[in-house]
Structure 1
Amino acid sequence: MRDELRAKIIQVCNKKMAAKGDNVGLSFYAFFANKNDDPELLMEAATWWIHTHQLDHFVKAQTIKTMVENNM
């Protein structure tokens, strides 16, 4: 996963947890605006989420943040 996506995921997870608590769930769409302005980055996130790790649609932000920080 490229550094740009890794940083964005951690930033969004931190923001969501600060606003809604550590139990907040999110999908990989949370890392992107409603406008698909970077399809390659979106596909990279989707591949990591769906294909590589076979995660459910919604996963706790803390879990995702930990996975990204540990280079999983």
Structure 2
Amino acid sequence: MSIKPGQAHAKAWKVTYADALGDSRELVLEGIRVPFLGLDALIASEETCREQDAVDRRRLLALKETQ
């Protein structure tokens, strides 16, 4: 997929902070709070024009099928 200069933002950052916060998880490791995206938000965040994101998204979808 080719993106014209100045249009990369149109295909990236589909997940807003508010959306990500609603699907976030948290661990506490050695007393430190570590927030991270839930699987659905992580999958949505990989919906960009980058080839590596497409690879990552396929792997994440496969992981989701095993749950």
Q: Could you state the TM-score of these two structures normalised by the residue count of structure 1?
A: 0.31
Q: Which structure's residues are more often helix, by fraction?
A: 1
Structure of larger gyration radius: 2
Q: Could you state the TM-score of these two structures normalised by the residue count of structure 2?
A: 0.32
